[in-house]
Amino acid sequence: MLNTSLFKFLTQPVVGVALLSAVNVAVPFASLAQGQPLPPTTQTPSTQTQLDTNYSLGGGDLIRVNVFEVPEYTGEYQVPPGGAINLPLIGSVSVLGLTTEQAADEIARRYARFLKRPLISVNLLSPRPINVFVAGEVTRPGAYTLSLSGGAGNNPGVQYPTVLAALTTAQGVTLAADVTQVQLRRKIGRSSEQAVNVNLKELIQTGRLSQDITLRDGDTIVVPTATNFNVAESRNIFASNFAASQTTPRTVTIIGEVNRPGSYLVTPASTDAQGGAATNSGTANPNGLPNVTRVIQLAGGITGQADVRNLRLRRLTRTGSEQAIDINLWQLLQSGDASQDIIVQDGDTIVIPTATEINPAEATQLATTTLSPTRIQVGVVGEVKKPGLTDVQPNSSLNQAILAAGGFNDARASSSAVDLIRLNPNGSVTKRIVKVDFSAGINEQTNPILRNNDVVVVNRSGSAKTGDTINTVTGPLGVIFNLLNLFGL
């Protein structure tokens, strides 16, 4: 009778599973609630690792402990934060960091003191939320709780979050990230740790979802800083769904040879910010990307002294270091090399240096591009026919400004030289005398290129000064003589 009962007992399918747990057969638990095993990573052989995908129990899990043929010891348990559940007869048993199979073995070992050959199984009914830490080149590093989707336990369609979900929750990777070397660290059991590299660039290029690894509670994702900046990869990152939001405003500082140096809030789709930027008709930025040329336009365009071949973009990284990126906008204008028009991110600084030598032909060409404002204002005052503020094209020369103001007042102007007054970016004011030569081309000595807000002062000639002095003296005397005549004196 005993043998028949034992035979019937062992032929039950659920008992067979329990028996495997009890005798420690090394077969991975294959429930959907625990996720499917991951394929090997595509790293080099030295870093290639098969990541452990077994589910480790922890605080918040709802489990069912089955003690076969002892139904009064069977029950459901919510694992507390400390990881120890309280079982009938044997008391507290810690299952923290154990797989369901390991937990079944541990419980069976403890029951072996009281039961003969105990058969134990542990089933995960409802998994806890996934707590991960995201560090490195992401917009908001920190700890995040990721929810599971689908069902669990009796409804096994549970979906675990992936690396991409974690990066998206951290508001995306920055443009300084090296997405080919993203590291995933996972605790194994109660003491050891495993690490694998994830190549998100391969995911972008080939669509291989093997790189989008399913996460487990306690995982850490580290996005490293790129050692070498690659414009093409930066643009690919910007367009990906795991990058920082394309529409999020970003604060960028621009200094040097622009008309309005300072910090600007760059919004990709807008056309103006902080007072507006005068730009030419036509655009080098038709899709509104937050790139270098857009920031220059917001800053009022380059000045006539800008060296557009040697711009530099300084970018702070999460490690505290700085990426320095050289930009040649002349190459962009000449060959349409869009890779020079780098997409900016929050905290970037753009430096536009002063040219050591100005080529008049290049200056004229730059004035017609969107890097320059449509018009600049200079003041031409004194002995000209139309004194006051005068609108001229960028990179206009001194001679052009005088002619735009109607030219010299021939009867009164000192046409040999004028005063050029300039407000410098550092707040100082300089004044110098420029000899006027209308036959000369653009040059710094007699026909310099003007900057926005320059003031040209055309002084009086010697004869005009003398005449004005006589009028000043004789003016009051004339009034007196008229009064005397009026009263017949």
To 10 degrees, what angle do helices 100-111 and 13-22 make?
Answer: 80
Amino acid identity at 21: S
- CATH code of 250-268+288-367, in short, is 3.10.560.10
Q: CB-based burial of residue 450 (10 Å sphere; 0-12 exposed, 13-18 middle, 19+ buried)? A: buried
Per-residue DSSP letter, 57: P
Choose among 304, 281, 294: nearest CA to 338.
294
Contact 421, 455 (CB under 8 A): yes
Query: For position 187, what pLDDT does the model report?
Result: 85
First to last CA, the chain: 159
According to the CATH classification, is domain 376-465 in 3.30.810?
no
Q: Are 149 and 184 in contact (CB under 8 A)?
A: no
The candidate with the shortest Cα–Cα distance to 350, out of 260, 270, 429, is: 260
- Output the pLDDT for position 228: 83
Residue type at 140 in one-letter notation: R
Q: Which pLDDT value is given to residue 428?
A: 86
In 3-state terms, what secondary structure has residue 435?
strand
pLDDT score for 279:
38
The β-bridge relationship of strands 250-256 and 417-423 is unpaired
Q: Where are the domains of the chain?
A: 61-126, 130-239, 250-268+288-367, 376-465
Q: Per-residue pLDDT for the chain (489 aa), expressed as one digit of tens each? A: 334 333 333 334 333 333 333 333 333 323 323 333 333 333 333 344 567 777 888 888 899 999 998 899 999 999 998 899 999 999 999 999 898 999 999 999 999 999 889 999 999 888 888 899 999 999 999 999 998 776 544 445 667 888 999 999 999 999 999 999 999 999 887 778 889 999 988 887 887 777 788 898 889 999 999 888 877 778 888 888 888 888 888 999 999 999 899 999 998 754 443 433 333 333 344 456 889 999 999 998 998 889 999 999 999 988 888 889 999 999 888 888 887 889 999 999 999 999 888 787 888 788 888 888 888 889 999 999 899 998 888 888 899 999 999 999 888 888 889 999 988 767 789 999 999 998 888 888 899 888 888 999 999 887 777 776 666 555 555 555 454 455 555
By C-alpha distance, which of 218, 274, 228, 220 is closest to 251? 274
Q: Do domains 61-126 and 130-239 have the same CATH topology?
A: no
Task: Please give the Cα distance from 484 to 78 (Å, whole number).
Answer: 117
- Alpha carbon distance 326, 342 (integer Å): 10
pLDDT at 50: 66
Sheet with 75-78, side-by-side order of all strands: 75-78, 62-67, 120-126
Q: Which residues pair with 186 in a beta bridge?
A: 194
SS3 11: coil
The per-residue pLDDT for 401 is 92
pLDDT of residue 157: 60
Per-residue pLDDT tens digits for 226-283: 888 877 778 888 888 888 888 888 999 999 999 899 999 998 754 443 433 333 333 3
**Domain 61-126: which CATH class?**
alpha beta
CATH domain 130-239 topology? Outer membrane lipoprotein wza fold like (3.10.560)
Instruction: Give pLDDT, residue 102.
Output: 92
Amino acid at 169: T
